Structure formats: structure tokens, C-alpha cells
Amino acid sequence: MVIEQQITGAVVAGIKALYRAEVAPEQIQLQKTKKEFKGHLTLVVFPFLKLSKKSPELTAQELGEYLKENEPAVAEFNVIKGFLNLTVAASCWVDLLNQIQAQPTYGIRQTAEDAPLVMIEYSSPNTNKPLHLGHVRNNLLGFSLAEILKANGYRVIKTNIVNDRGIHICKSMLAWQKWGNRATPESTGKKGDHLIGDFYVLFDKHYKEELKTLGASGLTKEEAEAKSPLMAEARELLRKWEAGDEETVALWKRMNSWVYTGFEETYKRMGVDFDKIYYESETYLEGKSKVLEGLKKGIFYRREDGSIWADLTADGLDEKLLLRSDGTSVYMTQDIGTAKLRFDDYPISKMIYVVGNEQNYHFQVLSILLDKLGFAFGKGLVHFSYGMVELPEGKMKSREGTVVDADDLMEEMVSTAREISQELGKLEELSTEEAEHIVEMVGLGSLKYFILKVDPRKNMTFNPKESIDFNGNTGPFIQYTYARIRSVLRKAEEQGIFLPEVLPPNIDLSEKEEGLVQLTADFATTVKEAGMEYSPAYIANYIYDLVKEYNQFYHDYSILREENKDVKIFRLVLSSNIAKIVKTGMQLLGIEVPERM
């Protein structure tokens, strides 16, 4: 914030004048004054006691007097122990609001052509089931993180790796062959990803029945699994696929195409997208090639059974399997291959993987392996490790068909938003088409905001009913406040009031108004912090705090009925810029805000 920079410079000058000592601007600790004390900014004076050779209180008093006399931005001050609380002059807040007003994209840094290129991987679905609630958190975090890093001036590539090969898809294929009756999305009226997910669940159901029968004949669980004819057929299907059997590959392509069409619908409604999609079926061979190259160079070693391993004991880890004895690859192999292709495709400065915290060890190993194989971004690899998301009822299991599908969840959220909006009478003056558009915004906005406001590193419970409340720390509360501000601004225009480009400096402001300008200006710092910490929650909770403060102001102060013309215009300009910040901040979260509600 410009005011902070101005006062920091004055403090540096004050220390030099009072104590004949030089301090760097970085040593000046200015922070927001706590609400229980009077002031806007607080200077911590303890670091300067060696220079002043005086008590904290006296040092703060002397610095306060110097600033009031020599820095126009400081109107008043008070001392609480070793803390100097500074009240900023009203004209500075008006000037600051003018600066915010002059920047249509305040808080957003422009991206230079030579800015560092960051690649963000998120989503990473399997083609044997639809996207579920866990994927929702992953997609929303990945997309929002990409938008936040763009806002911090980075060039960003959004990428997805689709896990389209392996035993999981073979299980769905086998179930379709055995019990599918040639079903298609068209013949069943089902989205392709849901149809394939049904066959995955069906395989598991028959497999469990088979194990139960084998167990009844006296076999142990392990023996039954080893002798399962159904699992043997699935493995044979995988072998045929890897051998390039035409019929098997044709069925694989056909069933995967159904899934991709379904995924695309889900992504579109969720409001997320990708610049580049990679497929495990294309990357795993690259991974095998890099592993064999590493074997030749002595980076990896081969065991007696033919399997290839990396010995990471010198790095404080254990030994890691890279290729099985039959030559088939593991997830690590695929990730090495994908990294190789990405590095070929783009000059990546930093690679960020948005993957749940159960994979922490995997990415610790991957970082070391990529570095050993000579990838420049290996050491700097970032695993954006997020916590699991559950429903109030508990965990979900895809094999048992107890997951909450992303499509069903989004539809439920929109349906609930429609019911609540109708009950509250918020759609009465809107056309059916406009009402449906707003209901979609509110339903999906409540889902996205509820998930993104939580520290991504923490596990969370998603409660649909809580998320859609029009009061409290929710998306609908923020959306409704934005619509309220837009309504005020439309009424002002109807009355012939138009906002000036620059406000006059001498306007008598209340503490509430000064605090709102200060909070509005904090948006730029918040965007920067969210980028540094990889946390959309910083943006979400900042927007809520801003909206909460604005609503208190709206309740306590008149805007259009204010008799003082300059104050009325100031309040309208303040409202307009708060709406601008809210819209920009919500866009960084992938959330739309309605012009009316």
C-alpha cells in the first residue's frame, strides 16, 4: 500500500534525525492497528531500542511526534507500550481510493512475455468412473491457483494427466463385455462416464460374490484372490491391450471416448479448463524409456527378477520400484514419462502438482528422481498437497458405488439454490431465463466458495446445506452483496448521478469509511500472499471480510439519501470499487457474481 511505503520512508528519516542511525526500510514493521485501539497502522518500535537507548514508550512517543510534525500522512498518534499507533490523514484515504479507482484491474499484475512459465497439473481422473467430490476440490483448487498465479504476473499452463490405462479400465471393459448387452450412452440415456462407472461397480459386485464362493470352499482370502477367474480375465484383457490386440484396443478407445465426452460436460459446468491434456497410455512408454536410460547410466539398478529400482537410501528414503519384473510400469514410471514430455513441450520454470496429501511421499520421490535424471525443474517441483474432502456422512468408496458424483452434487446445489431463492423471493422480478442463470451462479458459487475458503492443506467436511446460506461466510452472501452494490449504482445513474474519475481531497470521512478504503487497498497484498502461499483461501476469506464490513457500512450509513454531495459521491465511488474488487477476487476463485438478485 502506498501509504505504508510513505510512512516507512518517514520512519527511516525519523530514526536518522532522532538517533543518528541508519535503518533499512525492510526493518520497519508496520501492521494494521488492532480493532480495540485507535489508529490505522501500528509501528513496532522494539527493534530500535538499541539505537534510541530509551524505553519503548519514550521511543514510540518521540517517533510519533516526529512523524506528526514531518509526515503529512500522519494526522494523530497514540502509544501503547512499545507500539506506536498512527492515524492516517483523511486526505490520504481519498487519494488512495482515487488510485484504486484509476486501475480497472487493481491488484492484478500484468504478465510480461518473458515472465517465468509455471505449469499446474490438476484433475488427473481415471477413465473407469465419473468425477466425484474429491475431484471437485482438486479441480477447483487447481483452476483457482492458476488464476492467482496469473494475477501475480506468471505465465501459466493448465494441464491434466488422464489415467486411461491399467487394470481399473479393464475391469469396466470386462463387465461391459459380460453383462453390458451392448449398452451405449445413447441407448441408456446416461452420460458416458457414469455408464462406465456403473460397469466398474458391477465388476466389483461380481468379484466379491466370486471371492465369497471361493472362500466357502475353504480357501483363504489371499488364495481366493489368486484363483479368481474374473480377475484373471481382467489381467488377460490388460495383457492383450499392452500387446496391441486390435479388438481390445478398439473397445478401449470406444469406452474411453464415452468417458471423455462425459468429463468435458462436467468440466464445462464446473467452469474449469486445460491448455494441454496428457494421457497415461501415451506417457508410460516415455517413462519406461527414461528409466532404462537411467539404468544404463547407473542411476538405477536391476534386481535378479528383472525388476528395476532406484536406491534412495542416501537421500534418507527407501528403495523405489520403477519397472516390474514383467516390464510393466508403475505410477512413478508414468509420472517420469509425463514430466519428460512436458519438458519437451514447454520451457517450464516451475512444475506444480495439485494432488491429495496421501501422495506426499510419491512426490518427494518423484522430485529426487527427476533431478537425478537431469530435469531442470526436478528440485523445484511443488506438490500442492491438499487435504481430503468428506461429506457429513463420512468417506466415499468408488468400488462400492458410494461416491458422490460431481454431476449429481452440482445439480443438487443448483436445485437447492433454486428452492431457497424462491422461498426468499429473490427471483420474483426476473425473467425465467435470467432467474435460471442466477440460480446456476448461486448454486455453483456456493459449492466453489465453501470448498475454497478452507485452508487447502486441511481435511474438510463439505456440508451442502451450510454452503448455500445467504448469511455468513458463504458464496451466496458475497454474491448477494455484489448485486446489492450494483443495484445502488444503477439507482444513482437513474437519478442522473455519475461517478467522477477523481474525488476532491477534502472530504470528511468516518472511521468506518477510512477502514473500508484501507481494507479495499489490501486486495493487492492479499493476491500476492495467496500466490506465495498457494492458497485460494486467502482470497476467499479476504473477500468475505470486505463484504462483511461493507454490509455494516451499508446498514449504518445512507448512500443515495446522503445530503452532502461530496460525501454521497465518495460513498458511491467507494461502493463501486468494492464491487470491482469483489468481482475480481471471485473470478480468481472461478466464481461468477450476478448483476442483480
Any idea what the CATH number is for the domain that residue 569 is in?
1.10.730.10
Q: What is the rounded average pLDDT of the residues 535-553?
A: 98
Q: Are 582 and 482 in contact (CB under 8 A)?
A: yes
Answer whether residue 580 is part of any domain: yes
pLDDT at 397: 44
Q: Is residue 372 part of a domain?
A: no
Mean pLDDT of 163-179: 94
Q: Which of 143, 142, 141, 149 shows the shortest CA–CA distance to 108?
A: 149
Amino acid letter for position 337: G
In percent, how much of the chain has pLDDT > 90? 82
Instruction: CATH number of the domain at 63, please.
Output: 3.30.1360.70
pLDDT tens column, 235-269: 999 989 988 999 999 999 999 999 999 999 999 99
Query: Is 63 among the domain residues?
Result: yes
- Is the separation of the CB atoms in 449 and 469 below 8 Å? no
Here the cell at position 327 is 516390464
pLDDT for position 400: 46
Q: Which of 69, 88, 107 is the last residue of a domain?
A: 88
Task: Please give the average per-residue pLDDT across 214-243, as a whole number.
Answer: 91
Domain-embedded: residue 174: no
Are 455 and 481 contacting, i.e. CB atoms less than 8 angstroms apart? Answer: no
CA angle 587-591-597, nearest 5°?
115
- Per-residue pLDDT band for 471 (boundaries 50, 70, 90) equals confident
Last residue of a domain, one of 33, 61, 88: 88
- Cα-to-chain-centroid distance, residue 63: 42
**Using H for helix, E for strand and C for coil, what is the string for 133-176?**
HHHHHHHHHHHHHHHHHHHECCEEEEEEEEECCCHHHHHHHHHH
Calpha distance 580→520 (Å, rounded): 10
3-state secondary structure of 75: strand
Query: What's the whole-model pTM score?
Result: 0.91
39 to each of 13, 59, 84, 553, how far by Cα in Å? 21, 18, 9, 18
pLDDT reported for residue 376 = 84
H-helix or E-strand spanning residue 333:
helix 331-345
- Of 88, 112, 134, which closes a domain? 88
pLDDT attached to residue 392: 77
Of 170, 158, 164, the closest CA to residue 125 belongs to 164
Would you say residue 118 lies in a domain?
no
* Pick from 97-106, 401-410, 572-581: least confident: 401-410
pLDDT above 70 (res 1): no
- For residue 393, pLDDT over 80 is answered with no
What's the domain range around 531? 412-588
547 belongs to a structural domain:
yes
Contacts of 418 (CB under 8 A, 6+ apart): 439, 443
- On average, the pLDDT of the chain sits at 93
Distance between CA atoms of residues 104 and 205, nearest Å: 57
The answer on pLDDT for 313 being more than 80 is yes
Structure-block grid coordinates of residue 184: 451405449
What pLDDT does 428 receive? 77
Whole-number pLDDT of residue 402? 55
pLDDT digits (tens, 9 = 90+) for 277-290: 999 999 988 999 99
With respect to residue 379, please indicate whether it lies within any of the assigned structural domains.
no
* pLDDT at residue 463, as a whole number: 84
What's the total number of domains in the chain? 2
Q: With H, G, I as helix, E, B as strand and everything else as coil, classify residue 29.
A: coil
Contacts of 24 (CB under 8 A, 6+ apart): 12
Q: Is the pLDDT of residue 538 over 60?
A: yes
CA separation for the pair 550, 266 (Å, rounded): 35
DSSP for 242-282?
Answer: HTT-HHHHHHHHHHHHHHHHHHHHHHHHHT---SEEEEHHH
Residue 507 resides in a domain: yes
C-alpha cell at position 332: 512413478
